[in-house]
Amino acid sequence: MAVPKRKQSNSRTGHRRSHHALKPKELSSCPKCSTAVPTHVVCPNCGYYMGRTIVEVEEASS
């Protein structure tokens, strides 16, 4: 089995891991109610997606 001949330096390890950081979710605004919604997801506020209402949302009576 192949085994490394020398220890990898901390700098080299850091360079390799430089792309491992978490990126924030891409949010777009709903064209109907202007709520921030992740892309390719039905709007939880109004149920709107791809130009039509997909889910009927009940209005909260409070």
What pLDDT digit, counting tens, does each position of 13-60 carry?
Answer: 999 999 999 999 899 999 989 999 999 999 988 888 988 888 887 775
* Residue 50: φ, ψ to 5°: 55, 40
The total of other beta-carbon atoms located within 10 Å of residue 22's CB is: 5
Q: Which two tokens stand for residue 13?
A: 């390890």
Single pTM value for the model:
0.54
What pLDDT band is residue 62 in, cutting at 50, 70 and 90?
low
Residue 54 confidence (pLDDT): 84
Residue 9 confidence (pLDDT): 97
Q: What is the largest CA-CA distance in the chain?
A: 69
Q: Where are the domains of the chain?
A: 25-57
Written as one letter, the residue type at 26 is: E
Q: Average pLDDT in the 3-7 region?
A: 95
Signed CA dihedral, 59, 52, 32, 30: sign only? positive
